[in-house]
Structure 1
Amino acid sequence: MVLVAAGQLNSSSSLIENGQTVVKLISKAVELGIKILFLPEASDYLAKNASHSKKLVKSIDESPFVLEIQKKLQDLHSKGIFININVGIHEPSPNSDRTQNTSIWFNEKGEITQRYQKIHLFDVDVANGPILRESESVEPGSQVLPPFDTIAGKVALGICYDIRFPELALRQRSLGAQILTFPSAFTVRTGAAHWHLLGRSRAIDTQSYVIMAAQSGPHNTPDEEDLANGTDFKPTRISYGHSLIIDPWGTIIAETSDIDVGKTALAIADIDLDQLEIVRKNMPLWSQRRSDVFGYDV
């Protein structure tokens, strides 16, 4: 068994402050003996709007957020302390003026060894809620990243809205995934309705662990004009929170609480691949799937 954690953040528009917050969370995870820390979508920053996001985005080599994490991991490694980090960030796109919403994997040396670009973008009008157009500032990805080996098992990366499209999770399971990740910044309305349901569904669909690190609470995202005017900024974007770890039977085995809304927190659980294999053996879904009927096999 391997101890992992789904971290919870309340990211602002400051890459420096968010990096410092994550470093503190890494220190806490190390104290608790956690071997992999999963962090939310857009941990580096959340912006006021699309144009603000394009101004904030930094390349990997220039991002103070990324550099803070790498420095921390390198320092820990020099002391013989090893922890892996999965975190959601923004990157500038080489193809357009939009950003890329990516999930990256740091090994224990602070090296980025995996990168996934979000495929499905959140373009919706939530009834009695916010109007969000992620595609205004974000370029969609077009590839499924194959699962990769980690100390806890084979991990597959997804991001937030991807969880609503089961074909991604099914493809990842077919490619060998044992742990699915959906770092997110769910709205309060959609989170209250679907967050737990979607996570448990993907776990049951694929008989895999599902890890959902979440943004939480009202986000302080003033742009340059707000800061120059010196007026009190009133957050308009609020995230649902409730970071989760779900086992292959669909049971929620760790969750941050309502008390932790808007705060950093950890949902902690063991990944037990022996349990995973028992679930898959007792209900052999992958040997019973009917690609001959449906004409394809995801």
Structure 2
Amino acid sequence: MATSAPAPTSPGALLLKKPVKIACIQLASGADKAANLAHARDKVREAASAGAKIVVLPECFNSPYGCDFFPSYAETLLPSPPTSEQSPSFHALSAMARENNIYLVGGSIPEQAPSKASSSSSNPDASKTYYNTSLTFSPTGALLASHRKVHLFDIEIPGKIKFKESDVLSPGNKVTIVTLPGYGKIAVAICYDIRFPELAMIAARRGCFALIYPGAFNTTTGPLHWRLQGQARAMDNQIFVALCSPARDLSAGYHAWGHSLVVDPMAQVLVEAEESETIVYAEIDGERIEEARKGIPLRDQRRFDVYADVSQGAVRFEENEE
């Protein structure tokens, strides 16, 4: 539910209540949605069998990534819960979480929603709005939160890459904070969202122990900034950061960078994949957050008399209740 911002976490609070194993599944997906969902189910089971209690899938895990694919793979999520016909991915993710007794950050899927556009438009898609949406489920299979990608991937690097998600997608409008009972709070955002430190800072000030980004950087931006962005958000906020990418498929139109990784509160990379399909794991412990914040006490040194606390102005965010 949407809510006004609570007070930021107090110094000394143990943000992660107990150690937990997190897994990022660097999934290889193709054009067959049903096959993608079945493959994701197998890999989630594998991660859970290895002891992971928080499992993350990549951006657009159920479909190819690209503006040409978003409308044809889009599913209706509202009102929630959707029927299995409206959203097979919703029900598949719910079952994966329930069957394996895990918290599941379900990467992202293309979402279709009604639009305010005139139904008389000659454009058959004018009556539809599309989002890039991440769903997080509890060990009982209940939906805990949904995040619509806030910052759309519109870039042009001459001679290398041009991509404009806004040709098809609309942006979300909130910071998404998810309470995982027994552990604490995480923030979920998607890919290009990581380039905007304000979103991460708000989540960290609200008491999150981790920032989780399903993402699909490409082979131009990936080697430049993928690891760097993960380390920067961890360093700025002194919490864990997990980035989960699709595996690279050179036969696809979009080449994902891969290199799923987990970064600790001192900005050290704990684990990093290469480009092929794999699962990377990390044991994360709240004491590492406290050690980082005691050693380099940014939380006590911020000068809000000089600059504003961005979390105080965050009027659009959503947090589920424990």
Normalised TM-score (structure 1): 0.86
Deviations 1:167-206 (A, max 9, x none): 1111111111110011101111100111111100100000
Deviations 1:185-237 (A, max 9, x none): 11111001111111001000000000101112127xxxxxxxxxxxxxx5221
Distance 1:33 1:175, change over 3 A: same
Distance 1:274 1:296, change over 3 A: closer
Q: CA deviation at 1:253?
A: 0.4
Corresponding residue of 1:243: 260
Q: CA deviation at 1:151?
A: 4.0
Alpha-carbon distance in 1 for matches of 2:299, 2:209? 13
3-state secondary structure, aligned to 2:306: helix
Q: CA deviation at 1:135?
A: 0.8
Alpha-carbon distance in 2 for matches of 1:175, 1:72? 29
Deviations 1:70-117 (A, max 9, x none): 33444x2xxxx5111101122112336231111111111222111111
Question: Match for 1:291: what amino acid?
Answer: F
Corresponding residue of 1:59: 76
Corresponding residue of 1:10: 28
Alpha-carbon distance in 2 for matches of 1:132, 1:177? 31
Q: CA deviation at 1:6?
A: 1.1
| Larger mean Cα displacement after TM superposition, 6-15 or 163-172 | 6-15
Q: How many residues were matched structurally?
A: 274
Counterpart among 98, 101, 108 of residue 139 in structure 2: 108
Q: Would the aligned equivalents of 1:208 and 1:276 in 2 still touch at CA under 8 Å?
A: yes
Unaligned runs of 5+ in 1: 220-233
Counterpart among 264, 269, 273 of residue 256 in structure 1: 273
Corresponding residue of 1:280: 293
3-state secondary structure, aligned to 1:294: coil
Distance 1:151 1:19, change over 3 A: farther
Counterpart among 74, 92, 96 of residue 112 in structure 2: 92
Residue 187 (structure 1) aligned with residue 218 (structure 2): yes
Q: Would the aligned equivalents of 2:67 and 2:165 in 1 still touch at CA under 8 Å?
A: no
Q: CA deviation at 1:278?
A: 1.5
Q: CA deviation at 1:255?
A: 1.2
Unaligned runs of 5+ in 2: 1-18, 117-127, 312-322
Normalised TM-score (structure 2): 0.80
Q: Would the aligned equivalents of 1:291 and 1:297 in 2 still touch at CA under 8 Å?
A: no
Q: Percent identity?
A: 31
Q: Would the aligned equivalents of 2:177 and 2:185 in 1 still touch at CA under 8 Å?
A: no
Alpha-carbon distance in 2 for matches of 1:293, 1:173? 20
Q: CA deviation at 1:289?
A: 1.0
Corresponding residue of 2:41: 23
Corresponding residue of 1:222: none
Question: Match for 2:109: what amino acid?
Answer: I
Question: Match for 2:24: what amino acid?
Answer: A
3-state secondary structure, aligned to 1:292: coil
Aligned pairs (5 A) from 1:1-298: 1-50=19-68, 52-60=69-77, 61=82, 62-74=86-98, 76=99, 81-87=100-106, 88-95=108-115, 97-218=128-249, 235-257=252-274, 261-263=275-277, 265-298=278-311
Q: CA deviation at 1:162?
A: 0.8
Alpha-carbon distance in 2 for matches of 1:150, 1:138? 32
Q: Would the aligned equivalents of 2:25 and 2:44 in 1 still touch at CA under 8 Å?
A: no
Which one has a larger percent helix, Structure 1 or Structure 2? 1
Distance 1:48 1:295, change over 3 A: closer
3-state secondary structure, aligned to 1:217: coil
| Larger mean Cα displacement after TM superposition, 283-292 or 93-102 | 93-102
Q: CA deviation at 1:252?
A: 0.5
3-state secondary structure, aligned to 2:166: helix
Deviations 1:109-136 (A, max 9, x none): 2221111111111101133323111111
Distance 1:284 1:108, change over 3 A: same
